[in-house]
Amino acid sequence: MSDIEKFEAFKKQSIQSNEKKFGTEIKQLYDQDIVKQANQRWQEMTQEEYRKMQSLEQELFMSLKGLLNEPTVPSAKAEQVFHLHQAWLTNAWGTYNPQAHLGLVEMYVNDDRFTKYYDDRVSPGATLLLNKVIHYYIK
């Protein structure tokens, strides 16, 4: 199996796994056209786009960790965190919408699963700080 075939299988399996874990919740909370578009974007993502998304996420984690040491908003570090998260979303979604960005970071702090994701990878308090940063820079 080639790398491209493996990547295609990985994407298909990821969509199926997400549907199995969160399908009922997703159907209740989100417009089905948006879900369909998100799945299509994921299925059409290239390996390079995926690698870029992973790289941006790691850079975001490191920048957020640095910001936690001096949690000043606004600051150059805070602005960098904002732009990294914005770039990650743009890569993941294929487009950027400030209101959707705000909605997403609200979900991060209101859903323990998302809070745990960021706090576990960065440090406790990272999710709240990310929320604060996004709200500040999307006025």
Are residues 63 and 100 located together in one domain of the fold? yes
Residues 53 and 111 in one domain: yes
Do both 1 and 55 map to the same domain?
no
Shared domain for 40 and 60, answered yes or no, is: no
Do 39 and 78 lie in a common domain?
no
Q: Same domain, yes or no, for 36 and 63? A: no
| Structure confidence by residue, pLDDT tens digits, 52-92 | 999 999 999 999 999 999 999 999 999 999 999 999 999 98
Same domain, 56 and 119: yes
Residues 91 and 60 in one domain: yes
Residues 92 and 38 in one domain: no
List the pLDDT tens digit at each of the 139 positions of the chain. 899 999 999 999 999 998 898 888 887 877 788 788 888 999 999 999 999 999 999 999 999 999 999 999 999 999 999 999 999 999 988 889 999 999 999 999 999 999 999 999 999 999 999 999 999 999 8
Same domain, 100 and 124: yes
Q: Do residues 38 and 60 both lie within one domain? A: no
Same domain, 88 and 118: yes
CB burial string 79-113: b at 16+ within 10 A, e below:
bbbbebbbbbbebbbeeeeeeebeebbeebeeeee
Give the domain extent around 36: 1-44
Residue among 40, 139, 134, 135 nearest 92 (CA)? 40
Domain count across the chain = 2
pLDDT for res 21 = 86
